[in-house]
Structure 1
Amino acid sequence: MSEQYGVDPQFLDALLERETARFERTHQRSKKLHERTEGSMPRGVPLHWMANWPTPHPVYLSGAEGAYLTDVDGKSYVDFCLGDTGAMFGHANPLVAEAVSRQVHAGTTTMLPTEDAAAVGEELSRRFGLPYWQLATSATDANRFAIRIARIATGRDKVLVFNGKYHGSVDETQVALQDGRMVPQPGVAPNAVDTDRTTRLVEFNDVDALEQALSERDVACVLAEPAMTNVGVVPAEPGYHDALREITRRTGTLLIIDETHTISTGPGGYTRAHGLQPDMFVLGKSIAGGIPAAVYGMTAEVAETFERYTAKDGHRISHAGFGGTLAGNALTLAALRTTLEEVMTEEAYARMSALAERFERGVTEVIGKHGLPWHSTRLGARVEYLFSARAPRDGGEAKRFRVPRLEAAIHLHLLNRGVLLTPFHNMALMCPATTESDVDRHTAAFAECVAELVS
C-alpha cells in the first residue's frame, strides 16, 4: 500500500486502532441504543445501510438542522453526507417544514390530486425540458417504471446499464463485470432475476462497447447516470454523451437519464447544464426536502404510450404495473413544490458550488503538500476524493482505485472531529446552510489525518 497509495500501512493500522478506541469512549449512549435495537432489527438499524459507517456501531441521531447533526451522546457534527444526497438542501429546511406542517393538517394522502400537482408538473417541465411527468415514492420505483414504459414502447426486454452504476434496488441492474463477464453484483442473490435475459452491461465511456451491445437492436433502454457517482465520480469523456444519444436513436433504444445524484450539478441538473436530450428522466432523494419522493419525466411520444396503457376502458381500470397507493400523495406534492420553487434556486446552487470549489481546493492543497497520488473531482455542489492520480475512466477502474481500509480510517478520523462524509465513499455535499468555516473545518481535519498517515 505504501508505494501505490503513499500511505504507510503501519501508520494506517495505528490510526484505525486509536480512532476506534476514541469513538467507543465517546459514544456510549449510541452503543447502548444499538445493542437494544439489535434485539428487534437486523444489524440493529431500520435500514441495513445505516450500519455501514466505519464505526463499531452507528451514531444514533438526536436532531438535525441545516448543515448540522447532534447525536444522542451530545456530539455535534458538520454534515457533508446530507443523508447520502436525500438532504442536499439542508435538514429541516424551514420553508419545507412549514409546507409539510400545513399539509399534514389538511390531509396527507387521499388518492386525489391537489393544486400543487399542476404547479409541480409545470415546474418540472420548465426546469428539465421534458413535457410530461409522474411521481413515485423513490428513485428505485421511478427507474423501475421508466424501464417498464421502455419495454412497452419498444417491444424489447433488455436494459443496458454501466458497470459500477447505482440506480437503487432495481433487479435488472444488480450486476457487475468480472473478468469481462457479467455476473450478479456481489452480495446479491444470483437467482433474483435472469439477468442474462434482461440485462446488458458495459463500461462507461466505452463507445465501441456501447455500439456493439446495442447493435442487435434488442435493448429497450439505456439507463445511465450522466456522470457516474457511486464508486467515486467518473466524469463523461468529451463527446461521450453525443455518441450515447446518436447510437441509442439509431438503434431504436430509449435513453433514460437518472440524475438522482448528479442533480448536484445545477438547478436543471447535468441534463440542462450539458444540453442532454433523454427520452426519460429520473430524479429522486433530494427533491422534496427529505420527504420520500421521486419523479420521472418523458417525451410526448413516450407519454402517448404511457397514457394508452394506463387509460380507463369504460369502467375497467388498468394501472398497468405503474404507481403505488402513496405515490403522488398531497404531502409529497406540497414538499416537492416548495423545494422546487423556493429551495432549489439558482442562488442556492451558486452558493453551494462556490463552497464545493473551496472544499476541492483545500483537499487538493493537502494532497499536493504531501505529494500523494490522489485526486479530487467536483460535480457542482459535490466533491469526491479518490486514491489515484487521476479520475477513473469507468466503473471498473474506479473500483480498483478504492481502498476500503484507508477510506475507513479517514472517515473515522473526521467523524471523531465532528465532520461527516458519506460512509460509502469519500463524498461531500454542500447545502445552502453550509458555511466557509464548515468547509475549512473539514480541510483542517483532513490535513491532520493525512499528516498522521504519511509521517
Structure 2
Amino acid sequence: MRTSTLPSTGVPAARVRALAEAERARYATQNPASQALAQRAAGHLMFGVPLHWMSDWATPFPLQVAAARGARLTDVDGHELVDFCLGDTGAMFGHSPPAVTAALQAQSTRGLTTMLPGEDASAVAELLAERFGLPHWQFAMTASDANRFVLRWLRAAMGRPVLVVFNGCYHGTVDDVFVDLVDGRPVQRGSLLGQVHDLTAATRVVEFNDLAGLEAALAPGDVACVLAEPVMTNIGMVLPEPGFWERAIEVIHRHGSQLVMDETHTISSGPGGYARAHGLKADAVVVGKPLGGGMPCAAYGFSAELATKAEAAKRAAPPGHSGIGTTLTANLLAMAAMRATLGTLMTPEVFAPLHARCTRLADGLRAVIARHGLPWCVTQVGARCEFQFCATPPRNGSEAGAAMDAELEHALHLFLLNRGVLITPFHNMMLVCPDTTDADVQRLLGAMDAALQELSGA
C-alpha cells in the first residue's frame, strides 16, 4: 500500500484512500437493490457473479443491470448511467442498435443454429474482405477463440512452432500469450490458472516498439507469426512510434514469418481497423467483440497466400478434429448480427462523428488534468481514449504497467459511477458510441473535474 505522494501520479495516497472510502459508503447507500441481488447471487454463483472477473469493478458489491440501450445503462435501483464502458467494446455501436435487433428478431423466426451456411455467410465474408482488404475469412464465437484458431492455422501452415508477442499484451484467454518479460527474461504469467505446460518453450516476448528485440526473436527462423494489437490497449494504451510497423513488417517477412493483427479494440480506428486506416498490411486479422453489435461472434481473415497454405495443411492432415471451431460458431443468429453491423454501423459515415466526439472528450480530459496540475497524459485511438498516470505516453508494456495505480483507478472509477458515469474497470479507458452526446461528454468531464478537486484538496 502507498504511504506517501507518488511522483508517478502526483496524488497524495491519503487522499486516494479517503476518497475511495467515502465513495464506497456512498455507493452502498445509493444501491440497496443491487446489494440485495448481489447477496442472492452469492448463494449459487462463484464469487457472486456469472464470471469471476465481474467482481473486479471498484464497487463494494456488483452493480446489477436492469436494462441498456444506446449510450445509457439503467441499474436495478433505477439509476441511469451514461455508459463510456460499452461492454469494453462489445457495445461499441451502442446497446441494442436498432439495425442489429431488427436482424436478430427477423432471423429468430427462421432458425438460430444449424451447422450449415446460408446467404448471410457469403455477404458477411464479402463485407469483411471489403473492409479489411483480406480475401478469405473464417468465424469464431469470441476473439479469444479466433486468436486461438489463428495460431493453430499459422503453426500448421508455416510448419513452425513459435509465437512472438509483445510484453504486457492480452489477446483473450489464449494460453500461449500469457508470457511476460521480467528483468529481461520470459516468464509465464503467474495469474494464469491451471496451466501445466511451459509456455516459454514456444512463445517469445519482446517489448513493443523494440525493433532490435523483434529481430532477435525472429532470427532463429522458427517463428510462425507475430500476434499483436497495432496499438497496445490492454495494459493501457501504447502507440506505435513513427515508422515502427512499416519496419517491423519488413523484419517479420524477411525472417519468413507472418503478422497477425488483433483489431478487436483498435477497430475504434475505423471500419477496417487501425491497420487499414494507416496503410499497414497484415497477413491475418482478428476482430471480435463489436463485430456483431453485442452478439458473441468474431472473425479472422487471411491473405490469399496464407489461406492457400492453411487449406493445404488441413487437406494434408489425417482425418479427425482439427482443434479449430465449435458447434455454435457461425450460427445463423450471429451471421445475421454481423451482416447488420457491417452493413449499417461499421461504415465511414458512422465512424467520422465518433472520432470527432472522442477528440472533444480527449481534449477536455487534457484540460481538466492540466487545470489540476497533474502529470498525466491522454491518448486517443479513434473512438477510444484513455488517461494514464504518467506525464508522457508510455512506449512499451513495461512503462505502461509501471504507470498503473489500481487504488487510484478504483477511487476515480467509483467516484464517476456514483455520479452517473461508467467507464471501463480495467485501467482508464473510455469509448463513445453513435448515441453518445456532447452533453454526455460534458457530464463525464464535470465529474472528472470534481473527482480531481477532491483528490487535490482544492
Q: TM-score, normalised by structure 2?
A: 0.97
C-alpha contact (below 8 Å) 1:6/1:454 kept by paired residues: no
1:162-241 matches, within 5 Å, as: 162-189=166-193, 191-241=195-245
Q: Secondary structure of the equivalent of 2:186?
A: strand
C-alpha contact (below 8 Å) 1:356/1:382 kept by paired residues: yes
C-alpha contact (below 8 Å) 1:422/1:428 kept by paired residues: yes
Which residue of 2 is the match for residue 400 of structure 1?
402
Which residue of 2 is the match for residue 39 of structure 1?
43
2: distance between equivalents of 1:220 and 1:40? 44
**2:33 alignment partner AA:** R
**253, 259, 274: which one aligns with 1:255:** 259
**109, 114, 118: which one aligns with 1:105:** 109
| 1:229 positional shift | 0.2
1: distance between equivalents of 2:223 and 2:355? 37
> What CA deviation, in whole Å up to 9, does each residue of 1:17-45 have, x standing for no partner?
11100001111111111111112111111
**332, 347, 350: which one aligns with 2:352:** 350
Please report the RMSD computed on the Cα atoms of aligned residues, expressed in angstroms.
1.4
Which residue of 1 is the match for residue 379 of structure 2?
377
- Is 1:82 the counterpart of 2:86 in the alignment? yes
| 1:2 positional shift | 2.3
**2:47 alignment partner AA:** R
Question: Which stretch of the first structure deviates more once superposed, 23-32 or 334-343?
Answer: 23-32
C-alpha contact (below 8 Å) 1:310/1:318 kept by paired residues: no
**2:224 alignment partner AA:** A
C-alpha contact (below 8 Å) 1:231/1:398 kept by paired residues: yes
**2:83 alignment partner AA:** D
> What CA deviation, in whole Å up to 9, does each residue of 1:405-445 have, x standing for no partner?
11111000000000001001100000000000000000000
Q: Secondary structure of the equivalent of 1:89?
A: coil
| 1:319 positional shift | 4.6
2: distance between equivalents of 1:310 and 1:424? 38
Which residue of 2 is the match for residue 362 of structure 1?
364
Identity score, percent: 50
> What CA deviation, in whole Å up to 9, does each residue of 1:126-183 have, x standing for no partner?
1100000001001111111111111112211111111111100111111212111111
Which residue of 2 is the match for residue 436 of structure 1?
438
C-alpha contact (below 8 Å) 2:188/2:200 kept by paired residues: no
Q: Secondary structure of the equivalent of 2:290?
A: coil
C-alpha contact (below 8 Å) 1:281/1:298 kept by paired residues: yes
**217, 239, 246: which one aligns with 1:242:** 246
1: distance between equivalents of 2:420 and 2:189? 34
Q: Secondary structure of the equivalent of 1:2?
A: coil
2: distance between equivalents of 1:193 and 1:362? 47
Residue correspondences, number: 453
Which residue of 1 is the match for residue 133 of structure 2?
129
> What CA deviation, in whole Å up to 9, does each residue of 1:241-279 have, x standing for no partner?
012101110111111000000000111110111111111
Q: Residues 310, 319 of structure 1: CA spacing in aligned structure 2 closer, same or farther, 3 A cutoff?
A: farther
**1:422 alignment partner AA:** T
**1:263 alignment partner AA:** I
2: distance between equivalents of 1:64 and 1:3? 38
> What CA deviation, in whole Å up to 9, does each residue of 1:82-135 have, x standing for no partner?
001100000011110000011111001011111111111111111100000001
**14, 34, 46: which one aligns with 1:10:** 14
Which residue of 2 is the match for residue 65 of structure 1?
69
**1:19 alignment partner AA:** E
- Is 1:155 the counterpart of 2:155 in the alignment? no
2: distance between equivalents of 1:21 and 1:192? 42
1: distance between equivalents of 2:194 and 2:248? 29
| 1:344 positional shift | 1.5
> What CA deviation, in whole Å up to 9, does each residue of 1:379-428 have, x standing for no partner?
00001000000100100110000011111110000000000010011000
